[in-house]
Copies of this chain bind each other. A is one copy, B any other.
């Protein structure tokens, strides 16, 4: 059984230590606004629950040296980030520092049993030699997740996952609390916890992977909408006469840009003789990917650079509307395709700054994620640690 705090004071202490690491009792009392005797009582209970440990004495601030406390060092959270074409798994301590991280290609269309088994394998490899208990598991999946029962619902690119009991399956396996969310939401939580959004209350995280999605943070919390589908921007219409989308409409953002659209365009450019670089690659590989486009662009291939620019323009057009509507304090661009880098970012910025209201873009930074593929893992452990570090 994973121990949980017994009251809101204890929950607040654990969250403070999770965010800021070890602290002296004196500092903690100030931040948590607890009297020394009340603080001592709660710290004592948390120690008895095995959630907290002492760590020597702090430097003197003039009087008696204050004892240092930290989240118990044996605490472990597991974060699992299922993408459309990859699995990332990480183990963190109670401060959500990533202690180990493994990644492998995988196809989410293989279905939940096969994909979760691969994820469990990766966790097993990370835990070799570790005997400590897992205190919570967070997992993100690349499709909509029902807010009420926390299972994937009608996920367009995930046959077999509809209503699959991900939470129960993993909970049985690990014997600890498990929470499931959308992959984009956990990425936004990762940015909120450890990324560029740490000090920002209201921000957007645009994930450009195989598809395109948006994490919405309002006042430091993920905004999920009434049925949990908020931020699902991949099927926003960019144009009436655009490419056919897998959803049946035409001109959706995802039909224009994202990993899948880029692969399609790269193939077409190679076959049409528009890109010597991509044609050369295609001669040696069965299919092309977004990474090939990135390599082509890096080598100066004009067709690849054009694809990235046009993609950035389409993302920018949708984002410009959302910035006018939502007036965020920060926009972070992340996900595998964000690895295309600054050419993409420059194009997105150019369109948003031109098309959104000046009042909404006045002080609006649009930046690339600095967390890379750990954002999802950190976010998944943040999700489950928010739950574990709360009163039952």
Contacts and interface: CB of A to CB of B under 8 A. Distances in A.
Interface string A190-214: 0000000000011000000000001
A281 to B, nearest CB: 33
Given A214-B325, A218-B218, A327-B226, A320 B359 contact: no
A154 B354 CA distance: 17
B218 A223 contact: yes
A357 B235 contact: yes
A73 to B, nearest CB: 37
Q: Main secondary structure on chain A at its contact with chain B?
A: loop
Contact of A226 (B153, B249, B329, B357): B329
A326 B230 contact: yes
Contact of A153 (B230, B231, B329, B359): B359
Contacts of A228: 327, 359
A327 B225 CA distance: 5
B358 A154 contact: yes
B355 A249 contact: yes
A152 to B, nearest CB: 11
A340 B346 CA distance: 43
A133 to B, nearest CB: 35
A144 interface: yes
Interface of A: 144, 153-154, 201-202, 214, 216, 218, 223-233, 235-237, 249, 317-318, 320-322, 324-329, 354-355, 357-360, 362-363
